[in-house]
Chain A
Amino acid sequence: MPSHDVMPDMDLFQPLQIEDALALADRLGDSAWVLGGGQDTYGWLKDRAKTAEAMIDLNGIESLRGVRETADGIEIGALTTLTDLADNALIKERYGLLSSAASRVASPQIRNAGTLGGNVSQDVRCWYYRRGLDCYRAGGNLCYADTPEGMNREHAIFGASRCVAVNPSDTGPALVALEASMVINSVDGQRIVQAEDYFVGPANDIENTTALRTGEILTSVRIPNTWANATFYFEKVADRNVWDFALVSMAVAMKMNGATIADSRFVAGAVECKPRRLNDVENAVRGKSRDETTAASIGTLASNGARVLAHNQYKVPMIDNLVKRAIVAG
């Protein structure tokens, strides 16, 4: 695979107002690449695995940064860096789940540049696809990962449809657990999409990981008060503590009623091409206490229906055990 030290020749637009950015995104359409922190972008471009004629750099748009309190929770600008997210006092206090998830992304330097918008909108990490092969996701008609010789240790155990890649986002599962909604703008106006619907699997759309369409820009993420100050649990299992994407991650929010779980959201990451809500687990733990008995009673609810590939069977006990750890963690 040729590796290039320099970026390919392309134009760069640096709008200062969101209106200008939207107009550019509309005018340039598919020929432009909307650029946030760029931490997912530059690899694609340097490898010449994906190209664009121009980049629309959003970093000059100050209104896209920062965390604001709203009547019903908080609103986070899509360009807020993961470091700012992890260190933000308000988020730490009320939505510690998101701080924990943000603090586990990649490395300190990547968190200093990488943004929330980018983390939830990043592409999958399947190396066959990243290498620029003509797989299903790239518009071709085969999958290189799901073959007898395929390297698929990091791939999906749920929701595969031709493509078996997983969504690598760490903040995605946390946002789904917190019932966040995504604010998407275009020249045609604004639409709000629930975090759960923002991420899409290959059965619905094999070429995109999100509901974001050409010409649209994710401008902010809203988190309602629903799960503020709830009991949280986040764990990311990865080969290395730094840089690596999750093998399986678990984002959990629980509302306690005394010693019992009144309501909860269990969301697993890196097992499917979108954060996976574990509804069966949520139903099973309702009204139960956080102890070994409850954990044991969950059994394999989280992994039921999993379809493993040649090298990712370990994700089945891993997702079950993460649920149990979340229940008993104290």
Chain B
Amino acid sequence: MNPKVTRRRFIKGVIFSATAATAGAGIYIANAASSRSAGAVERLVSLTVNGRTRRVDVRPQETLAHTLRYRLNLTGTKLACNRGECGACTVMLDNIANYSCSLLTHQIKGREITTVEGLRLEDGTLHPVQQAFIEELAPQCGFCTPGQVVSAAALLIANPNPTREEARQGLSGNLCRCGAYDHYLNGVMRAAELIS
């Protein structure tokens, strides 16, 4: 195997080609739908994701998690329960944490979307939450980590100096099956120190 083709890149490639196939099918269905009802939404939308404006073809009923992962290739946002019951898909909308599996992409036109990919600085410096999570060994298996990072970042925007209890509340919408909650809380408290 070519050493440059990492496992991650390979998987991304597979997902991307699958997306292209779905997008084609989607257009066909949407045409059928738009002939059915006048006044429904325009499919082509501009989304502000991580500071960049992206033009995307979005089906009317598509969730934001789906758009991020399968159209914009931002796979840091995880889809686990897809029912607003786990928090792995958490993103920020105008700096407020939301479940991207439980929002329609069409509802957030004009709002600023920040995914886990958009948290680090241009020069690659990690976000204080990411740095603190590394230092405190916050994640265990890592699957829920992107959601935890985004929730913690949103919490620290609203409340840069949380008590441990406030941090607990702030992260309470994110499940961790490893049960690394206290480690995540240690991470949030350290991140608050790094920021101040």
Interface residues of A (CB under 8 A from B): 3, 5-14, 24, 35, 38-39, 42-43, 45-46, 54-55, 57, 59, 83, 106-110, 112-113, 241-243
Nearest Cβ distance between residue A212 and chain B, in whole angstroms? 22
A59-B107 contact given A54-B37, A112-B96, CB 8 Å threshold = yes
Interface pick from B4-12, B80-88, B182-190: B80-88
Contact at A12–B41, with CB atoms within 8 Å? yes
Q: Which residues on the A side are within 8 Å of B84 (C-beta)? A: 39, 42-43, 106-107, 109-110
> Shortest distance in angstroms between B146's beta carbon and chain A's nearest beta carbon?
14
How distant is A106 from chain B, measured CB to nearest CB, in Å? 8
Q: How far is the CA of A43 from the CA of B99 in the complex (A)?
A: 13
Please judge, given known A-B contacts A38-B102, A39-B84, whether A110 and B173 are in contact too, CB under 8 Å.
yes
Task: Tell me the complex Cα distance, A83–B85, Å.
Answer: 17
Which residue from chain B places its CB closest to the CB of A5 in the assembled complex? B82
State how many angstroms separate the Cβ of A85 from the closest Cβ of chain B.
Answer: 15
> What 9 A-B pairs come out closest when comparing CB atoms?
A107-B173, A12-B60, A7-B61, A109-B173, A242-B172, A11-B40, A108-B173, A109-B99, A12-B41
Given A12-B60, A107-B87, A113-B98 contact (CB < 8 Å): yes
4 new A-B contacts, CB < 8 A, other than A39-B102, A110-B99, are: A7-B63, A9-B59, A13-B39, A242-B172
17 of the cross-chain contacts (CB-CB < 8 Å) are A7-B61, A7-B63, A9-B33, A10-B61, A11-B36, A11-B41, A12-B60, A13-B40, A14-B106, A38-B103, A39-B84, A42-B83, A55-B60, A106-B173, A108-B170, A109-B97, A110-B99
A242 to B181, CA, bound (A): 14
Q: Which residues from B are CB-within-8-Å of A55?
A: 60-61, 104
Q: Is the Cβ of B41 less than 8 Å from the Cβ of A13?
A: yes
| Contacting residues, chain A, for B101 (C-beta < 8 A) | 42
Question: Is B44 close to A, CB under 8 A?
Answer: no
B62 within 8 A of A: yes
| Interchain CA distance A55-B40 in the complex, whole Å | 9
Return B72 CB to nearest CB of chain A, in Å.
16
Q: How many inter-chain residue pairs (CB < 8 Å) link A and B?
A: 101
CA A214 – CA B163 in complex, angstroms?
A: 46
Shortest Cβ distance from B83 into A: residue: A43
Contact-size category for B:
35 or more
Do B29 and A38 have beta carbons less than 8 Å apart? Answer: no
- Contact present for A112 and B97 (CB under 8 Å): yes
Chain A residue at smallest Cβ distance from B30: A9
A108 to B175 CA separation, bound complex (whole angstroms): 12
Q: Is B169 in contact with A10, judged by CB distance below 8 angstroms?
A: no
Q: Is the CB of A113 within 8 A of B102?
A: yes
Task: Contacts A7-B61, A107-B87, A112-B96 given; indicate if A57 touches B107 (C-beta within 8 A).
Answer: yes
CB contacts (< 8 Å) of A10 on chain B: these are 33, 60-61
Determine the chain B residues whose CB is within 8 A of the CB of A110 once the complex forms: 84, 99, 102, 173
A38 to B87, Cβ gap below 8 A? no
Given contacts A38-B103, A55-B61, A112-B98, contact A12 B40 (CB under 8 A): yes
Q: For B138, list chain A residues within 8 Å (CB).
A: none
Whether A46 pairs with B173 at a CB distance below 8 angstroms is no
In the complex formed, the residue of B with least CB distance to A12 is B60
Indicate if B47 sits at the interface (CB-CB under 8 A): no
Give the CA-CA distance A8 to B151 in the complex, in Å: 29
Q: Does B153 contact A (CB under 8 A)?
A: no
Separation of A108 and B167 alpha carbons in the complex (Å) = 12
CB of A242 within 8 A of CB of B173, answer yes
Measured CB to CB, the closest approach of chain B to A182, in angstroms, equals 24
B residues near A57, Cβ cutoff 8 Å? 104, 106-107
Distance to closest chain B CB from A103 (angstroms): 9
Residue from A8, A42, A55 whose CB has the most chain B CB atoms within 10 Å: A42
Complex alpha-carbon distance, A5 and B101, angstroms: 9
Which residues on A sit within 8 Å (CB–CB) of B59?
9
Distance between B124 CB and nearest chain A CB, rounded to angstroms: 28
B62 touches A7 (CB 8 A): yes
- Residue B115 is within 8 A (CB to CB) of chain A in the complex: no
How many angstroms between the C-alpha atoms of A227 and B188 in the bound complex? 40
Interface residues of B in 64-114 (CB under 8 A from A): 66, 79, 82-85, 87, 90, 96-99, 101-104, 106-107
